[in-house]
C-alpha cells in the first residue's frame, strides 16, 4: 500500500498522526509532497503587464523568489520527515490542486492524505466553507481514495437537529 | 501616402473614430499578443498616414507633454536605482522587525510601507518592486503569501493620490489642469487617507483568520544582507532625503516635477556608476522604453479625436450627467474614470478625460475642480477593481476558471469588486465635502 500525504506547511503533525493509523503488513510506503504554488508569480507577471512591463523572469529578484520558494519547500519537507520518518519526498511546481492529483497518479498512490485547508490561526468552524478549493479539487479529481485529515471538532457538537 | 484629397468633415470624424476605437479595442484585447505600445503607435501612425492628424499637430501635442514623458523616465530611474541600493529589501526587513513576530502587525506594516513608497516613488515602485520583495519575505517567514501580495498590489493604487508624484496619472492630468499643491492636498489627501483606512480595514476582515499566527524572526535576513553596498545605500538615503522635500517644494511652486525626478535619478545613477552598482546598459534595461511609445501613441490618437470635437461632446455629456452640481461632477468623474480605466488602461483613460474636461472649464469652480480631482481619483484608484489586468483579462481568467482550476488572478478580482466600489464611493464623497 502506498499512501501520499499532502503537506501545506502547517499540517505535518496531522499527516503524521494519520499515517500512524496505517499499520499495514507489509508496511506502507509513504510519500510526502509539497507544491510550490506558481499562482502568485503569475499574478505578479499579470500586474507587470498592466504597468506595461516585461515578465518577472527577466528581473534579478526572480532568483531570490525562486530561492525563497525552494528553501520554504525544503523546510516543509524536513518538518514532514520529522513526523513521517523514511518517507520519500516529492516537490512539484505549478497549481497545487493539479500537481497533487497528477503527482498521485504518477507516484501510483493508493491513498492521498490531505487536510481541508492550510491553517494559520484558529481551526475553522465546520460548515460549507470548511474545505479549501485545493482539497475540494483533489476530492473531485483524485485518481485514488482521498483521506481528508482534519482536527477533532467534538466541541462543535451536537449540531442542532 | 497622405490623403491629399479633401474629405468631408463627417467622414473625417467617422474615420478618426474608427481608428481610435480599433486602437482602444486592440489595447483591451491585445490581438496576436501585440504589446500595447505597438498598438498605440500603430493607431497614431494610421492617423498620420491617413492624414487625419497633421504631423505638426502631432509633434506639438507630444512636445507640449514633455513633463509627462520626463516624469515617467525619472520615476522609473529613481525606483530602479533605489532598488539597486537594496532600499526596498531593507525597508521590508525593517517592517518585519517592527512587527514583533506578529503576522497581523506585519500586514499593517506592509500597508504603511506601501503607502510611503507610493507617496514618494509612485505606485509603480510599490506594485512592481515592493511586491516581489514582500513575496520573498513572507515566503521565507512561512506566512500565507496571498494576503500580503494583495496588500502590496492594492495599496499601490490606493495610496497613489497622496501627492501629485504618487501616480504619473496625476502628472498627466495636472499638466493640462494645474492645481496648486494646497488645492491638490485639500481635495485628495484626506480622501486618500479614507481610502487607505477602508482598504486596511476591509482586508483585515477578509484575511483575519490567516493573520492570527506569529513568525520566527530568525528566518529574517540580517540588515547587512539586505543592504547590498553600504556606501551607495547611505548615498541613496541622502539623495532621497533631498528629493522628497524637493518634490513638495516644486509642487507648491508649480515647478515641473519631472525635472526633480530626473535630477534625482541622475544623481543616484552617478552614485551607482561610481560604486559600480550598475552599468549604463543595466540602467537602460531598468527603464521600460515601450511605455513612451504607448503614451505618445495615445496622446496622438486622443488629439485626433479632440480635433473632431468628439471629446468635447463627451465632456458635455459628463457635464449633463452631473446635473450641473458639484456632487454630480465628483461622482460622474470618479465612476466614469474608474470604469474607463478597467476597460482600457488608466493612461489612455486619463488622456481621454483630459481632453473631455476642456468643456467643463467654463463651469463653476467647484464643478471644474470636482471633475479634475475626481478624474485623478478615479483613474488612480479605479484599476484596483481589476488589479491584474483589464476587464478583458478578467474575462479570459473566467474562461479558464471553467476548467475547475482555481485561477489566482480571479481572487484579485473578487477582492477588488468588494473593496474598490466602497473606496471609490467613500473617497468621492469626501472630495465632494472638501470642495
pLDDT at B392 over 70: no
Confidence of residue A19 (pLDDT cuts 50, 70, 90): confident
Do the beta carbons of residue A1 and residue A22 sit within 8 Å?
Answer: yes
| B389 interfacial to chain A (CB closer than 8 Å) | yes
Digit-coded pLDDT (tens) for B272-322: 999 999 999 988 988 989 999 999 999 999 999 999 989 899 999 999 999
Minimal Cα–Cα distance from A136 to chain B, Å?
10
Closest in A44, A46, A62 to B393, CB measured: A46
Stronger pLDDT, B417 or A57, i.e. the higher one: B417
Closest CA to B237 of B113, B80, B85, B109: B85
Tell me if B135 and A124 make a contact (CB, 8 A cut-off). no
Tell me if A68 and B128 make a contact (CB, 8 A cut-off). no
Q: Which residues of chain A from 3 to 62 reach within 8 Å of chain B, CB to CB?
A: 9, 37, 39-44, 46-54, 56, 59, 61-62
Dist CA B380 CA B5 (whole Å): 43
| A66 interfacial to chain B (CB closer than 8 Å) | no
pLDDT at res. A132? 87
Calculate what percentage of chain A has a pLDDT beyond 70.
96
pLDDT at res. B406? 59
What does B19-64 look like in DSSP terms, one character per residue? HHHHHHHHHHH-GGG--HHHHHHHHHHHHHHTTSS-HHHHHHHHHH
A119-123, B105-109, B225-229, B424-428: the lowest-pLDDT one: A119-123
Tell me which chain A residues have a C-beta less than 8 angstroms from the C-beta of B278. Answer: none
| B316 interfacial to chain A (CB closer than 8 Å) | no
- What average pLDDT does this structure show over B389-414? 63
Mean pLDDT of chain B, nearest integer: 90
pLDDT at A5 over 70: yes
Closest in A39, A53, A140 to B288, CB measured: A53
Digit-coded pLDDT (tens) for B189-210: 999 999 999 999 999 999 998 8
Residue of B nearest to A125 (CA): B209
H-helix or E-strand spanning residue A112: strand A111-114
Confidence of residue B393 (pLDDT cuts 50, 70, 90): low
Beta-bridge partner residues of A37: A94
Digit-coded pLDDT (tens) for B280-294: 998 898 898 999 999
pLDDT at res. B85? 93
Digit-coded pLDDT (tens) for B344-358: 888 889 999 999 998
pLDDT at B152 over 80: yes
- What average pLDDT does this structure show over B73-96? 94
Calculate what percentage of chain A has a pLDDT beyond 90.
43
The CB-based long-range contact list for A54-62 (8 Å cut-off, 24+ gap) reads A54/B288, A56/B132, A59/B132, A61/B129, A61/B132, A61/B133, A61/B136, A62/B132
Candidates B40, B90, B118, B132, partner chain A, best to mutate (most A CBs within 10 A): B132
Confidence of residue B33 (pLDDT cuts 50, 70, 90): confident
Tell me if B209 and A122 make a contact (CB, 8 A cut-off). yes
pLDDT at B1 over 50: no
pLDDT at res. B409? 64
A36 phi/psi in degrees, rounded to 5: -85, 115
Candidates A35, A64, A94, partner chain B, best to mutate (most B CBs within 10 A): A64
| A71 interfacial to chain B (CB closer than 8 Å) | yes
pLDDT at res. A77? 95
B62 contact partners, CB below 8 Å, separation of at least 6: B69, B296, B299, B300
| A93 interfacial to chain B (CB closer than 8 Å) | no
Residue of B nearest to A39 (CA): B408
pLDDT at B27 over 90: no
Closest in A51, A65, A134 to B124, CB measured: A51
Confidence of residue B386 (pLDDT cuts 50, 70, 90): confident
Q: Which residues of chain B from 35 to 64 reach within 8 Å of chain A, CB to CB?
A: 35-37
Amino acid at each position: 500500500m502506498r499512501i501520499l500525504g499532502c503537506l501545506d506547511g502547517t499540517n505535518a503533525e496531522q499527516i503524521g498522526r494519520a499515517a500512524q493509523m496505517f499499520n499495514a503488513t507489509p508496511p506502507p510506503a509513504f510519500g510526502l509532497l509539497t507544491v510550490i504554488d506558481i499562482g502568485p508569480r503569475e499574478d505578479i507577471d499579470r500586474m507587470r503587464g498592466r504597468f506595461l512591463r516585461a515578465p518577472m523572469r527577466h528581473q534579478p529578484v526572480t532568483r531570490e523568489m525562486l530561492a525563497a520558494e525552494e528553501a520554504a519547500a525544503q523546510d516543509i519537507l524536513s518538518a514532514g520527515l520529522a513526523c513521517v520518518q523514511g518517507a520519500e519526498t516529492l516537490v512539484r511546481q505549478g497549481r497545487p490542486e493539479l500537481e497533487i492529483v497528477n503527482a498521485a497518479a504518477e507516484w501510483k498512490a493508493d491513498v492521498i492524505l490531505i487536510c481541508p485547508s492550510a491553517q494559520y490561526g484558529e481551526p475553522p468552524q465546520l460548515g460549507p466553507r470548511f474545505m479549501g478549493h485545493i482539497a475540494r479539487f483533489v476530492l473531485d479529481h483524485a485518481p485514488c481514495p482521498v483521506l481528508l485529515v482534519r482536527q477533532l471538532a467534538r466541541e462543535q457538537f451536537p449540531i442542532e437537529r | 501616402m497622405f490623403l491629399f484629397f479633401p474629405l468631408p468633415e463627417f467622414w473625417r470624424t467617422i474615420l478618426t473614430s474608427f481608428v481610435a476605437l480599433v486602437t482602444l479595442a486592440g489595447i483591451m484585447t491585445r490581438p496576436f499578443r501585440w504589446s500595447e505600445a505597438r498598438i498605440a503607435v500603430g493607431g497614431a501612425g494610421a492617423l498620420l498616414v491617413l492624414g487625419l492628424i497633421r504631423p505638426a499637430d502631432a509633434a506639438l501635442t507630444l512636445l507640449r507633454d514633455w513633463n509627462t514623458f520626463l516624469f515617467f523616465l525619472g520615476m522609473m530611474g529613481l525606483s530602479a536605482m533605489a532598488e539597486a541600493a537594496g532600499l526596498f529589501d531593507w525597508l521590508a526587513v525593517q517592517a518585519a522587525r517592527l512587527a514583533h513576530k506578529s503576522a497581523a502587525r506585519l500586514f499593517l506594516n506592509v500597508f504603511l510601507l506601501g503607502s510611503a513608497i507610493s507617496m514618494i516613488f509612485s505606485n509603480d515602485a510599490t506594485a512592481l518592486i515592493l511586491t516581489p520583495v514582500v513575496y520573498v519575505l513572507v515566503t521565507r517567514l512561512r506566512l500565507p503569501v496571498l494576503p500580503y501580495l494583495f496588500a502590496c498590489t492594492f495599496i499601490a493604487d490606493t495610496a497613489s493620490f497622496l501627492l501629485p508624484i504618487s501616480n504619473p496619472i496625476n502628472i498627466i492630468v495636472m499638466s493640462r489642469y494645474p492645481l496648486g499643491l494646497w488645492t491638490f492636498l485639500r481635495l485628495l489627501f484626506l480622501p486618500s487617507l479614507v481610502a487607505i483606512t477602508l482598504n486596511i480595514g476591509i482586508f483585515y476582515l477578509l484575511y483575519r483568520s490567516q493573520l492570527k499566527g506569529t513568525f520566527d524572526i530568525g528566518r529574517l535576513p540580517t540588515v547587512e544582507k539586505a543592504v547590498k553596498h553600504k556606501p551607495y545605500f547611505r548615498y541613496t538615503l541622502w539623495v532621497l532625503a533631498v528629493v522628497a522635500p524637493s518634490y513638495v517644494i516644486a509642487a507648491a511652486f508649480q515647478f515641473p516635477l519631472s525635472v526633480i525626478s530626473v535630477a534625482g535619478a541622475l544623481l543616484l545613477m552617478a552614485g551607482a556608476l561610481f560604486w559600480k552598482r550598475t552599468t549604463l546598459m543595466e540602467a537602460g534595461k531598468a527603464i521600460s522604453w515601450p511605455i513612451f511609445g504607448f503614451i505618445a501613441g495615445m496622446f496622438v490618437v486622443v488629439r485626433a479625436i479632440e480635433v473632431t470635437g468628439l471629446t468635447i461632446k463627451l465632456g458635455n455629456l459628463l457635464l449633463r450627467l452631473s446635473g450641473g452640481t458639484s456632487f454630480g461632477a465628483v461622482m460622474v468623474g470618479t465612476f466614469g474614470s474608474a470604469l474607463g480605466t478597467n476597460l482600457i488602461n488608466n493612461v489612455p483613460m486619463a488622456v481621454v478625460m483630459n481632453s473631455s474636461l476642456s468643456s467643463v472649464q467654463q463651469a463653476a469652480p467647484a464643478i471644474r475642480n470636482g471633475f479634475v480631482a475626481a478624474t485623478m481619483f478615479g483613474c488612480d484608484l479605479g484599476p484596483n477593481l481589476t488589479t491584474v489586468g483589464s476587464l478583458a483579462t478578467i474575462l479570459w481568467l473566467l474562461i479558464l476558471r471553467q476548467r475547475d482550476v482555481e485561477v489566482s488572478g480571479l481572487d484579485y478580482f473578487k477582492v477588488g469588486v468588494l473593496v474598490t466600489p466602497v473606496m471609490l464611493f467613500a473617497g468621492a464623497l469626501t472630495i465632494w465635502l472638501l470642495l
